[in-house]
Amino acid sequence: MLHLAFIQNIGVPGFVIIVIALLLLFGGKKLPELARGLGKGLRGFKEELDGKSEGKGDKPAKDEDDKDKA
């Protein structure tokens, strides 16, 4: 398993350097779009883990309802 111990050791100066590097690489206009996409991806991933996604496991299939009635 991958251990991300280095994240605990990043302080304010390290965080500032990372933000500056991201600004230089992607520019100010592209960063909000990247963050928004990352947020949507993480939200979808968490919903899948929790089983809250639409259409999967929430409602029984129509065929299963017909079998129960018969």
* Token pair for 32: 């909000």
More confident call, 58 vs 20? 20
Any domain includes 54: yes
**Number of structural domains the chain divides into:** 1
Residue-wise pLDDT tens digits, 2-52? 566 666 777 888 888 988 898 888 888 888 888 899 899 999 999 998 886
Do the Cβ atoms of 60 and 66 come closer than 8 Å? no
Please indicate, yes or no, if residue 37 is contained in any of the structural domains.
yes
| Structure-derived torsion over alpha carbons of residues 61, 67, 69, 70, reported in degrees to the nearest 10 | 160
Q: Tell me the DSSP string of 23-38.
A: HHHH-TTHHHHHHHHH
The pLDDT assigned to 59 comes to: 52
Does 1 map to a domain? no
- The answer to whether position 23 is within a domain reads yes
d(CA 11, CA 17): 10
Position 26 scores a pLDDT of 83
Q: What pLDDT is attached to residue 38?
A: 87
